[in-house]
Amino acid sequence: MLDVGTKAPDFSVKDQDGNTVTLSEFKGKSVVLYFYPKDDTPGCTREGIGFSEKKSEFELKNAVVLGVSKDSVSSHKSFCTKYNLNISLLSDENMDILEPYGAWGEKKNYGKTYMGIIRCTFIIDPTGVITKVWKSVKVDGHVDKVLEALS
Catalytic residues: 44
Q: With residue 67 as reference, give the H or E element that holds it.
A: strand 63-69
Torsion, CA 45, CA 47, CA 48, CA 51, rounded to 10: 160
Contact 119, 36 (CB under 8 A): yes
Report, in angstroms and rounded to the nearest whole number, the Rg of the chain calculated over CA atoms. 14
CA distance 39 to 46: 11
Long-range contacts of 24-27 (CB under 8 A, 24+ apart): 24/128, 26/64, 26/124, 27/126, 27/127, 27/128
Question: Which of 51, 122, 119, 118 is CA-nearest to residue 80?
Answer: 51
